[in-house]
Structure 1
C-alpha cells in the first residue's frame, strides 16, 4: 500500500496578497493629516515603494474608494469608502460585540464576569456570565452598582461628564454611601493613568473585581467589562491577567469603531 502525504495544517487562511496590501494602503490614509495624504506618506505608512503605492491609489481612485485633490495632489478616502463605512456602522451592535469579547475572555480565564451600561439608576448589569470559579453573590442582571466604591462605578465617574453622574452621587450619599470628593478625584486620576479600576470586597464582601472600559466610535463609554474573583485569592489578578483583560476591552472597542486614545 502506498503512503499518502498528509497536507500540513495551515495556521492562516489562504488569501489574495494584493487585497491585503490594498487594505494597508487604505489604512494609511487614516494615519496622516485629515486634509489628505501625499504619495510619500502613503508609501511610508503602507511599507511600499512610491511606484507601488501609486498603482494601488490609482486603482482605488478609479473604483471610487479614494479621491485625489487636483490642486494639492493629496489623497483621501472617497465616496465609496464613506458609504461602506456608514453601512458597517449601521450593522454594528456594540453590546453584542462587547459580550462576545467578554465571553471569550472569561472562557480563557475560567472565571465569572459581567457587562454594565449606564441606566436610569446608574451603572446597571446587563450581562452576567458564569465562569469556571463558583462565586456566590446577590448580584444579577438588572442590579445597579454604586458610582462610589465599585470598580464599574469608577469607570463611569472617569469617562462620563459630571453632569451625568453628580445626581447619582448625591442619591448614594443620601443613602449613606459617602466617599469624599477629594478621594473620588484621586480614584479618577488613578483610573485614567492605569486604564482600569479594581476593588477588593468593597461592594460585595469576598468578591474582587477588575473593570475595563469599552468605547464607541465617538470615544464615548459604551459599556464596562468586569472580571470577578474571590478576594482572598490575592494573586489571581496578576499583571499578565490585567493586561489580557485590558486587551479584550481594547479589541472590543476597536471592533465597535473606536479610533483609539488621543
Structure 2
C-alpha cells in the first residue's frame, strides 16, 4: 500500500461533549473574581441561556455550583472538596525537583533548589551541568541570606519584623557589604534592592557571587502565597546571560511559575 494507515492512537479520541461543557462552566466560575449571572455565563461560554440553565441545575444538584444572595453562580462545596483533595496529593518539593531536572536536561546548566530553614537557605537539590561551574556549593549546604540569590529572595518575602531582625544583626558588623551589579550595598540600598526582588520575583548576580559567574533565581509559591522553594541557575558570564528578559532569566522564571501553578492551580483572572 502506498499510503500508511493511521494507528488508532493517532486519531482523536472521542469524549463526552456534555461533560466537557460542564467542566468549561466550572473553569469559567473558577476564573471569575465575582459571581456570574446566567446571562454573563451564557455570554462567556457561547451557550444559550436555556441550554446553560439545564447544566446549572445539574451542577447545583451535585453541589459543584450554587447561587449567592445576588443570584449569581459560584463554586459549591463539592468543588471545594475536589480542590482540597487534589491539593493534598501534591508534593511541592517533588514538583520542584522534576521541573529543575527537566530544565537541567534542556539547558545543560547548573541548577539548584533551596528551602528556608528558619534563618538561611538550605540546598536540597543540586544538578551540575556537563561542564560543572567551579563553586564551593553542594547539596545540604546552608547559604548566606545576603550573598546568595536564593537568600535575597527569601529575605525579600519574609515578614517585615523578621527581615528587620536579620538585617539589624548583619549590618551591625557586616563581614563585607553585599554587592549587586558590582556595587556594594549599604542597608538602605540593600532594602531597595530587596523591594525590587520581591516585585519581580527575580534576583540576578552578575559576577557578584564569584568573579565570572552569573546566577539567577526565582521563587516557587504555595497556596498561601508563601515561598515553597527557590530555583537557581548559574553559569559563566561569557555564555550565561541572566539579565531580566534574557533566555536563562525567562527559563528560570517560567520554571518557577509553572511549578507554582501546578501547586496552586491556575490563578484567577482579575
Do structure 1's residue 62 and structure 2's residue 68 form an aligned pair? no
CA contact (8 A) 1:113 1:129 kept: yes
- The structure-2 alpha-carbon separation of the partners of 1:197 and 1:53, relative to structure 1 and needing over 3 Å to count, comes to farther
How far 1:38 sits from its partner (Å)?
Answer: 1.4
Counterpart of 1:115? 113
- The structure-2 alpha-carbon separation of the partners of 1:191 and 1:50, relative to structure 1 and needing over 3 Å to count, comes to farther
Do structure 1's residue 240 and structure 2's residue 240 form an aligned pair? no
Distance 2:264 2:12 in 1: 24
Normalised to the residue count of structure 2, the TM-score between the two structures is: 0.82
CA contact (8 A) 1:229 1:236 kept: no
Once the two structures are superposed, what CA deviation does each residue of 1:87-118 show, in whole Å capped at 9, x if it has no partner? 11211211111111122222211111001111
How far 1:134 sits from its partner (Å)?
Answer: 2.0
How far 1:216 sits from its partner (Å)?
Answer: 0.7
Q: RMSD in angstroms over aligned alpha carbons?
A: 2.8
How far 1:72 sits from its partner (Å)?
Answer: 2.8
* 1:74-153 paired onto structure 2 within 5 Å: 74-153=72-151
How far 1:211 sits from its partner (Å)?
Answer: 0.2
Distance 2:16 2:214 in 1: 47
Distance 2:11 2:164 in 1: 51
Distance 2:141 2:174 in 1: 17
CA contact (8 A) 2:218 2:230 kept: yes
Distance 1:10 1:240 in 2: 34
SS state at 1:201 partner: strand
CA contact (8 A) 2:214 2:241 kept: no
How far 1:167 sits from its partner (Å)?
Answer: 3.7
Once the two structures are superposed, what CA deviation does each residue of 1:148-182 show, in whole Å capped at 9, x if it has no partner? 24221221122221333344444544461434221
1:195 corresponds to which of 201, 218, 243: 201
Higher alpha-carbon deviation: 103-112 or 47-56: 47-56
Residue-pair matches, total? 259
- The structure-2 alpha-carbon separation of the partners of 1:156 and 1:45, relative to structure 1 and needing over 3 Å to count, comes to farther
- The structure-2 alpha-carbon separation of the partners of 1:257 and 1:170, relative to structure 1 and needing over 3 Å to count, comes to same
How far 1:234 sits from its partner (Å)?
Answer: 5.4
- The structure-2 alpha-carbon separation of the partners of 1:222 and 1:55, relative to structure 1 and needing over 3 Å to count, comes to same
Distance 2:203 2:23 in 1: 36
Counterpart of 2:214? 208
Once the two structures are superposed, what CA deviation does each residue of 1:120-167 show, in whole Å capped at 9, x if it has no partner? 441111111223342222101122222224221221122221333344
Distance 2:265 2:175 in 1: 37
- The structure-2 alpha-carbon separation of the partners of 1:162 and 1:59, relative to structure 1 and needing over 3 Å to count, comes to same
Normalised to the residue count of structure 1, the TM-score between the two structures is: 0.85
